[in-house]
Amino acid sequence: MNKKLHIKKGDTVYVNAGDDRGKTGKVLEVLPARNRAIVEGISLVSKHTKPSAKHPQGGIIKQEATIHLSNLQVVDPSQGGPTRIGRRLNDKGKLVRYAKKSGEEIK
C-alpha cells in the first residue's frame, strides 16, 4: 500500500488543532499506515523509564507522541505560514509538491 501524503520527513509543519495549536516543528517520522507523524517538540508526553544503559538514572522522560496528519499543514517556504499542498510536473517532467498559497515548489 503506497499512500501519497502531503507531509514528508524533514518538512516544517504547522499544528492547526489540539493542545499545541499554533506551534511549528520539524517532522521526525511519518507513519503512513496509521496516518500519523512525530513532530519535534509537539505533543510531548511523560514516559516512566526504568534505569538502563541509555538512561542510567531512569525516571520520567519527556518525548514526542504521534499526531494525526489532518492536524498538520506544511509551512510555505516563501511566506512562512501554513499552506495547502498540490502536485504538478516541473520543467524536467518530474512530479513535485508545491505550496498553493505562493505557488513555490517545496523541496
- The 10 Å CB-count burial string (b at 16+, else e) for 2-41 is eeeebbeeebbbbbeeeebeeebbebeebeeeeebbbbee
pLDDT tens for residues 46-59? 999 999 998 899 99
- Residue 107 domain-assigned (yes or no): no
pLDDT value at residue 1? 55
Average pLDDT, the chain: 93
Residue type for 14, please? Answer: Y
Chain segment 3-48, per-residue pLDDT in tens: 788 999 999 999 999 999 999 999 999 999 999 999 999 999 999 9
Count of the separate structural domains present in the chain: 1
What is this structure's pTM? 0.84
Instruction: Work out the pLDDT band at 101, boundaries 50, 70, 90.
Output: very high
CATH at residue 22: 2.30.30.30
In a domain, 4, yes or no: no
pLDDT at 26: 97
